[in-house]
């Protein structure tokens, strides 16, 4: 069984892999927020170095084109919605729907924002062990009153651990149904029901087996976590990220 999905941790020794998880979480949060406010030039200034970093660190999403089509579908819907709902100079008319030049530009910008957020999320997951995700989240939540930091961090760590399993089951269920010519059925409701119910059942069964395996090895919320220690390189990366962020917002 070879690589099944692209959304998973990939072992490596790149700068991103070695960066302290707390710095990565902080940079992920601020850059994602920056995406919402940056101008078009700012988005390009963010996106091009980000893509270069992903390629050099070998953490660029290696998601099969079959899975990317769902992201493409979402982006397409967002683009069309923006294009036809924004007032401006008409460039394309389809019945009652009129796409404006301003809407097209706005739609492209929103899609670029979503792509960048997806890229940053993928880079983070690919370069960070789930155990480190838990340790980092717990570190940030510890000073927050009334929030069960360890339990919250454990839940987030488990989500990261379970996402690849869910995507694997989606892939298997899809293949099994396509092998039995489900594509000949055009009714979307039928296809959704016949896909969704067995998928949910398989996900719960797989999760049950994984939980059993974890319990058999004494899994507990409170366990030895990874050592997280920020060095000079990590602080330098945070400072560089801050400077880059300022530039993005100013441009």
CB of 161 vs other proteins, minimal distance in Å: 7
Query: Can you tell me which of 18, 109, 129, 191 binds other proteins, judged by CB under 8 A?
Result: 129
Report which DSSP code applies to 190: H
Tell me: does residue 209 bind other proteins (CB under 8 A). Answer: yes
Tell me: does residue 101 bind other proteins (CB under 8 A). Answer: no
Per CB under 8 A, the segment of 19-27, 172-180, 211-219, 238-246 that binds other proteins is: 211-219
What backbone phi and psi angles, to 5 degrees, belong to 51?
A: -65, -40
CB of 238 vs other proteins, minimal distance in Å: 25
User: Is the CB of 201 or the CB of 223 nearer to other proteins?
Assistant: 223
Asked whether 107 and 79 are in contact (CB, 8 A), the reply is yes
Beta strands per DSSP E along the chain: 90-94, 97-100
Query: Can you tell me which of 187, 188, 224, 232 binds other proteins, judged by CB under 8 A?
Result: 224
CA distances from 3 to 62, 80, 171 (A): 9, 33, 11
Between helices 40-57 and 21-37, what is the axis angle to 10°? 150
User: Is the CB of 92 or the CB of 213 nearer to other proteins?
Assistant: 213
Query: Can you tell me which of 225, 228, 249, 251 binds other proteins, judged by CB under 8 A?
Result: 225
User: Is the CB of 211 or the CB of 240 nearer to other proteins?
Assistant: 211
Sign of CA dihedral 210, 211, 214, 216: negative
The CA distance from 155 to 164, in Å, is 15
Burial class (CB in 10 A: 0-12, 13-18, 19+), 68: middle
Tell me: does residue 172 bind other proteins (CB under 8 A). Answer: no
Tell me: does residue 131 bind other proteins (CB under 8 A). Answer: yes
Tell me: does residue 10 bind other proteins (CB under 8 A). Answer: yes
Q: How many CB atoms lie within 10 A of CB 233?
A: 13
Between helices 232-250 and 40-57, what is the axis angle to 10°? 150
Tell me: does residue 8 bind other proteins (CB under 8 A). Answer: yes
Query: Can you tell me which of 29, 33, 212, 240 binds other proteins, judged by CB under 8 A?
Result: 212
Query: Can you tell me which of 90, 159, 213, 250 binds other proteins, judged by CB under 8 A?
Result: 213
CB of 235 vs other proteins, minimal distance in Å: 23
Q: Which residues of the chain form contacts with other proteins (CB under 8 A)? A: 1-4, 8-11, 129-131, 161, 206, 209-210, 212-220, 222-225, 227
């Amino acid at each position: 069984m070879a690589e099944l999905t692209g959304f998973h941790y990939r072992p490596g020794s790149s700068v991103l892999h070695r960066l302290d998880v707390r710095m990565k979480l902080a940079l992920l949060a601020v850059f994602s927020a920056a995406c919402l406010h940056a101008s078009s030039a700012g988005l390009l200034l963010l996106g091009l170095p980000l893509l270069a970093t992903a390629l050099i660190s070998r953490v660029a999403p290696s998601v099969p084109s079959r899975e990317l089509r769902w992201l493409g579908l979402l982006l397409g819907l967002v683009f069309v919605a923006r294009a036809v709902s924004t007032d401006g100079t008409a460039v394309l008319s389809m019945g009652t729907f009129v796409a404006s030049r301003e809407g097209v530009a706005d739609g492209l910008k929103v899609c670029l924002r979503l792509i960048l957020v997806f890229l940053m999320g993928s880079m983070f997951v690919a370069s960070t062990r789930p155990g480190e995700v838990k340790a980092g989240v717990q570190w940030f939540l510890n000073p927050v009153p009334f929030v069960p930091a360890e339990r919250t961090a454990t839940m987030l760590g488990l989500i990261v651990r379970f996402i690849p399993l869910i995507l694997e089951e989606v892939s298997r269920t899809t293949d099994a149904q396509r092998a039995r010519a489900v594509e000949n059925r055009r009714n979307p409701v039928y296809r959704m029901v016949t896909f969704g119910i067995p998928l949910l059942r398989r996900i719960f069964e797989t999760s049950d087996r994984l939980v059993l395996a974890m319990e058999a090895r004494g899994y507990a919320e409170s366990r030895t976590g990874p050592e997280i220690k920020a060095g000079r390189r990590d602080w330098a990366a945070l400072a560089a990220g801050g400077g880059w962020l300022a530039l993005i917002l100013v441009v």
